[in-house]
Amino acid sequence: MGKKMLSRGKEVLIKSILQSIPTYAMSCFRIPKSICEEIEKECAKFWWGVENGKRKMHWRSWDFLCKPKARGGLGFRIMEEFNRALLANEFWLLLRNPSSLASQVLKGRYFRHGYIMDAGISNNPSFIWRSLICSRGILEKGVIWRVGNEQSIKIFEDSWVPSLTSKIGTTNEAWQRNVRVASLIENGVWNTALLRNHFNPFIEEEIINIPLPA
């Protein structure tokens, strides 16, 4: 019973203190991989313990201990992935709140006449901006446009059809890559004739099922 309670205490200390201390810094900056690995190494040493000044045997790899408890692990954090998740969350907040002070400051510096999802690193960027850009790929895998201001959505460059896991293509090479969704709409409804000419039947049906704002 005593060993079980001790292990439980170590688990709480690792999760609530050792792995929580760098949370604030990780939500702003991309921490070097070597530092993340060093934090994990110290957590593993604390978990398995030290005897007579020497590390005890590590009976399981750290990757295994980071698995969810339902899969046999202990649910510890992989610090590099945790860092990227925190930065992606900050990027999401900027994306959802373009009128916030932080969004306005970054827009004025890095994408004054563009969109945050298309913004580049720019010249002499801050460490914060470089860190945020590194996390953008996580959002690109799951974020899609909601058709409202169709003037902003690029048909072939943006993800905007909910049922598709990738961006759509076209059989018409003459179409410009930056053509907007607005060109597919006529008098407030989808132009079915145009959709039929440029997309296969499956994509055509999926687009037609996307509701348009009144």
Rounded CA-CA distance 139/96 in Å is 12
pLDDT tens for 14-42 read 999 889 999 999 999 999 999 999 999 99
Handedness of CA 71, 72, 74, 79 (dihedral sign): negative
Rounded CA-CA distance 197/59 in Å is 62
The domain spans of the chain are 2-78, 82-140, 146-214
Rounded CA-CA distance 74/8 in Å is 10
Strands 54-55 and 185-186: unpaired
pLDDT of residue 1: 44
Average pLDDT of the residues of the chain: 85
- 178, 165 Cβ separation under 8 angstroms: no
pLDDT of residue 175: 67
pLDDT of residue 120: 87
- 25, 82 Cβ separation under 8 angstroms: no
Rounded CA-CA distance 172/190 in Å is 19
Average pLDDT over residues 149-172: 75
Average pLDDT over residues 53-67: 84
Rounded CA-CA distance 56/18 in Å is 19
pLDDT of residue 174: 61
Binning pLDDT at 50, 70 and 90, where does residue 158 land? confident
Q: Is the pLDDT of residue 185 over 70?
A: yes
Locate 120 and state its tokens: 């580049």
Q: Say what the pTM is.
A: 0.76
